[in-house]
Structure 1
Amino acid sequence: MPATEVVNLGQVFGDDKQTRQFAERYFRVQHTDLLFANAAVFVEGSAERMLVPLFIERDFKALRSQYVSFLDIGGSHAHRLKPLVEKLRIPTVIITDVDPSEEKEGKPKKNGEPSKRLIAVANTGQDGLHCGNQTLRVWHPKLEQLDDFKNPTEAQLVWSEVADCLVRFAWQLPVEDAGGSWPSTFEDSLVLTNLHWFKSLMDEKFDEDGEEIEAPKGALGSVAKRAAETESFPELLVALHALMHSSFDKGEFAASIFEMISSDEPIVAPKYITDALAWLEQQLEPIQESMI
């Protein structure tokens, strides 16, 4: 028999003051509909928040009919809402960045002991890289070495420690069509997955009247230019890493891609995202069947 549990948000986060303050401010600012949803999708940033719902609308017919709450919370902060996810017990997907990092010497501690800090780098296959994402390090799958994230098992992808509460984690994985290159962000994963399309944006093109079509400018133009000019996948990853860590406008980039997808351009979602959304759709199948 269906039952309803009343959740007292004031008690959900226990004595963790930092987590409680974060959650209270987030809910106050975002006015989230998470409390009423059939499922939740946490995303890393503005680009995913704009494009993942569009991919669902286009590619996941059953999922788009469900009440899915999208939260742009940043991968490094998603673990702050872990207590609430445990209480709500709705299928949840956390789409986040694997954040390849090198360990560097930091400022000495007060007692004089050396300290270590993680510095984000482009992953071109170098040894000894770490995962810099706190959610993946402290919530699930609780791994630290980057290579341990390369071929995840189902148990490493799905957190199931609380009864009737499944959370599917999704992070960038090597792209087979890009020679097994391993992207670090949603943006460079999107580029590697659709590399031929991005390169084609810089090709000489003409409209119906024979007038030359101008190549894209702004954020999309910057990405397309690097895709067209670099000669190897490692070189492209280094170029994209430098671009993403400059004054690159990810919101403008996402808006341009949104417009292109809306115009039926053949842009494919990265596989790590489509796999996670397929999992979520499968979790909600019983709900769909009960509505028929």
Structure 2
Amino acid sequence: MKLIKAAIKNFRLLYDVDITFDENATSVVGKNNSGKTSLSLIFNMFLNENNKKFPFEDFSLKSHDKFIATFEKYGEIKEENKEERIKEIQSEIPKIQLLLTLKYGPEDNWANIKPFFTNLEESDEITILCEYAPDSTEKFLKKLIDVNKNGTDEELIKNIETQYQSYYKINVRPYSKIEATENVRRADLNRLIQAKFIHAQRVLDDSNSESKSKLSKVFQQQFYNENEKDESKSGKLLEIIEQASSNIDSTLSVFFSSFIEYFSSFGYPGMGNEKVELKSQLAPEVLFKNNVKLFYNHDGAILPEKYNGLGYSNLIYIIAQIIGFYSEIGDFQNNLNLIFIEEPEAHMHPQMQSAFIKNINRFLSEVGLNAQVIITTHSPHILSDAMLQSIRYFAKTDNANSCTVKDLMDFNDKLTESETKEFLTQYLTLGKCDLFFADKAILFEGTVERILLPIFIEKTEKATDGNKLSEQYISSIEVGGAYISKFKELLEFLGLKALIITDIDSVEKQETGNRATYHKVMVAENDQLVTSNITLKNWIPGEENILQLLSKSDADKLSGSIRVAYQIKQNAENFKCGRSFEEAFLIDNHQYIFDNKDNLTSITYFLKECLNSDDVQAKSYDIQDFIDRNKKKTEFAFDLLNVNKDDWKVPTYIEEGLEWLSM
């Protein structure tokens, strides 16, 4: 049996979302506070029979308006249409819902599935509705009318919070669109679905306190699980414990005999025949609680648990919890088994994180546990091991009171170019997955931009007022200019605000016979010049002609939440515009370049020909060509870092782009 889909309504940020699940491991990702943890929590709330009610805070904030609307609608009911209106209100009043779609096969335990069959539908799927709703909507609303004296919306919400638990109940039933169904027992649900929740706050630490032996407790629980299944397995251990107790009793009797004799001098035991005896109380639970500790054998040296790194302790804890789950579920293995793991990356080094999903899947296969794993993570390293189609991206909506879930299985299926799919899969496999956790993104072409980007951001923040990019989580992606456009569909799918910093890359067409070639040229007032930049030609702004590109407005450089920044005219009088970052920098900072020409070692040789700053600006194309031909781009970037970096300014096109991104 497999979990195919979950539809959730009115639970925290999960106001109205649908989530599909991979048949092996689903990776749940997104920025902080985007609703990821709520996914495992709502499963836990409905699957744990001890949970009888939801806190009012678990209702989505957006549901408050629905509470108010249904209350007002109930107050307007007329007698002639009362029954019909009550039904409407019953369907509209906020309920916390978890609608599960499960796929089963002939190998599954049909006795456990039977309560969830409906009469009129034949398929290999069942749908189960778990719902926290009022038993009687009318009684609930009548009570609210009685207590809501002031009549304000704020007072109504307070009264709902006070009264709702007396009327709301958890119910589970098979769901059908075409027929009414009856509630089943929650025990029926628990027989069908087994779940293990390994939470993010795992109480592991490397304190020297001996009381912090958390892993030993895991092994203690495993002993109980195994003993409950097969007492014969623990028989030998119990036999040894009893023998040890007998030996200890004999030793204690001899050791304390003279001490006990002193009691008689105080009249004990009096007229009776009672005797004082010391008995050991050895039992497995006492043994594990105080006397059995976990140790590590390191090259023959026995080291206590506290000497093991937290990363390994965390991994062992997760594995032990899964093994314990395997022992607990026993005969229920033919049903649906779910394992929720929150932030498994805690304390793990990157290499261990990168192999986590692969190792978990292999481990489940080796122990024979048929389970689906749902992993919530903030780790690009863990995500690098995930299949693109197994990722579920959680993102807050604009009003921040709800979230959307973006299914990369849909994205993967809709990718039209196989090359793009292959490129993105390979790119993510290399561990470049922080796009899924970022507030915003910057894509750029070269090493120089990568080295100088933090300085660009710092300088732009000093020059402008507003939101600081340095205080936001920015994913910086270095990618060759020819490949930037391959991120188009992913960025649009995620809805992430992104800035693309690229070059105008002016070229001139030359024809020789039947053959046309393109050659790099400086940007000039020439209608025949075009760009070789694929992003500018085929994406934003979708223009090839250089003069047309230079005439584009800020709005033309925007597509949804994505903006492109490329070189613009710096000197309108003599039509000066850089072809690349280096040339744009030279034009904008010609005085700085001239003043520091003896210290800028990457271009000192060429600058000997410049008699003043105007010469630097006039020769900007030749200087950048010198940098390019002599492979001095990285050296040039380090020159700018090390030589009076406070004196130069960010090229205008980059500064404008960063200002837009910060808003």
**Per-residue deviation, residues 125-177 of structure 1 (Å, max 9, x unmatched):** 444111110110001111111000112123311012xxxxx111100011138
Q: Alpha-carbon deviation of 1:239?
A: 1.1
Bigger RCO of structures 1 and 2 (CA < 8 A, at least 6 apart)? 1
> Is 1:153 matched up with 2:559?
no
Shift of 1:178: 8.1
Q: CA deviation at 1:224?
A: 4.3
Matches of 1:78 and 1:116, distance apart in 2: 25
Give the drift of 1:233. Answer: 6.8
Shift of 1:105: 2.6
Question: Which one of 405, 409, 418 corresponds to residue 17 of structure 1?
Answer: 418
Deviates more, 1:136-145 or 1:17-26: 17-26
Given that 1:98 and 1:184 are in contact with CA atoms closer than 8 Å, whether structure 2 keeps it comes out as yes
Q: 1:121 to 1:13 in 2, by over 3 A?
A: farther
In the TM superposition, what is the alpha-carbon distance from 1:67 to its structure 2 partner?
0.6
The match for 1:135 among 521, 524, 535 is 535
Corresponding residue for 1:207? none
In the superposition, relative to structure 1, how do residues 17 and 54 fare at CA in structure 2: closer, same or farther (>3 Å)? Answer: same
Equivalent residue for 2:251? none
**Aligned match of 1:168:** 563
Question: What letter matches 1:194 in structure 2?
Answer: N
Query: Is contact 2:558-2:564 (8 Å) kept?
Result: yes
- 5 Å matches for 1:1-292? 1-8=401-408, 11=412, 14-29=415-430, 31-60=432-461, 62-105=468-511, 114-160=514-560, 166-176=561-571, 179-202=574-597, 215-216=598-599, 218-222=601-605, 224-225=607-608, 228=611, 232=615, 235-260=618-643, 264-282=645-663
- Alignment partner of 2:415: what SS? coil
- Displacement after TM superposition at 1:235 (Å): 4.7
- Flag structure 1 segments of 5+ consecutive residues without an equivalent: 109-113, 161-165, 203-214, 283-292
- Give the structure 1 partner of residue 239 of structure 2: none
Q: Secondary structure at the match of 2:519?
A: strand
In the superposition, relative to structure 1, how do residues 226 and 42 fare at CA in structure 2: closer, same or farther (>3 Å)?
farther
Deviates more, 1:172-181 or 1:184-193: 172-181
Partner of 1:211: none
Contact 1:99 1:132 in 2 (8 A): yes
Contact (CA 8 Å) 1:12, 1:83: kept in 2 or not?
no
Answer yes or no: is the 8 Å Cα contact 1:41–1:70 preserved in 2.
Answer: yes
CA contact (8 A) 1:190 1:270 kept: yes
Q: Secondary structure at the match of 2:487?
A: helix
- Go from structure 1 to structure 2 and tell me whether the alpha carbon gap of 1:27 and 1:245 turns closer, same or farther (over 3 Å shift): same
Displacement of 1:240: 2.4
Aligned mates of 1:80, 1:121 — CA distance in 2: 26
Identity %: 24
Secondary structure class of the residue paired with 1:92: strand
Quick one: distance in 2 between partners of 1:102 and 1:32? 38
Cα offset for 1:74? Answer: 2.4
Amino acid in the other structure paired with 2:496 = I
CA distance in 2, matches of 1:127, 1:28: 43
Q: Distance between the aligned counterparts of 1:89 and 1:75, measured in 2?
A: 21
How far 1:192 moved relative to its partner? 0.8
Taking structure 2 as the reference length, the TM-score comes to 0.36
Q: 1:55 to 1:228 in 2, by over 3 A?
A: farther
Q: Distance in 2 between matches of 1:167 and 1:48?
A: 19
Bigger mean CA deviation after superposition, 61-70 or 241-250 = 241-250
Task: Give the strand-richer structure, 1 or 2.
Answer: 2
One-letter amino acid matched to 2:569? P
Q: Report if the CA contact (8 A) 2:593-2:613 is conserved.
A: no
Report if aligned partners of 1:39, 1:92 keep a CA contact under 8 Å in 2: yes
2:639 maps to amino acid:
S
3-state DSSP of counterpart to 1:19: helix
Structure 2 residues without counterparts, runs of 5 or longer = 1-400, 462-466
Q: Distance in 2 between matches of 1:124 and 1:200?
A: 27
Whole-angstrom CA distance in 1 between matches of 2:606 and 2:497: 34
SS of residue paired to 1:102:
strand
How far the C-alpha of 1:221 sits from its partner, in A, is 2.5
Does the C-alpha gap of structure 1 residues 40 and 124 become closer, same or farther in structure 2, counting only changes over 3 Å? same
Q: Distance in 2 between matches of 1:188 and 1:20?
A: 34
Instruction: Pick closer, same or farther for the CA change 1:267–1:232 going to 2, 3 Å.
Output: closer
- AA matched with 2:448: A
Aligned to 1:287: none
| Counterpart-to-counterpart distance in 2, 1:217 and 1:133 | 29
Query: Tell me, what secondary structure is at the counterpart of 1:219?
Result: coil
Which runs of structure 1 show a deviation greater than 4 angstroms over 4 or more consecutive aligned residues?
222-235
What SS is found at the alignment partner of 1:175?
strand
1:163-210 per-position Cα deviation (integer Å, ceiling 9, x unaligned) = xxx1111000111388440110111111111100100123xxxxxxxx
241 and 116 in structure 1: CA distance in 2 versus 1, 3 angstrom threshold: farther
Larger gyration radius, structure 1 or structure 2: 2
Q: Is the 8 A contact 1:198 1:228 kept in 2?
A: no
- Give, in whole Å, the separation in 1 of the partners of 2:404 and 2:485: 25
- Number of residue-to-residue matches in the alignment: 257
Aligned partners of 1:196, 1:216: CA distance in 2, in Å? 14
Structure 2 vs 1, CA of residues 190 and 223 (structure 1 numbering), >3 Å: closer, same or farther?
A: farther
Q: Distance in 2 between matches of 1:13 and 1:198?
A: 49
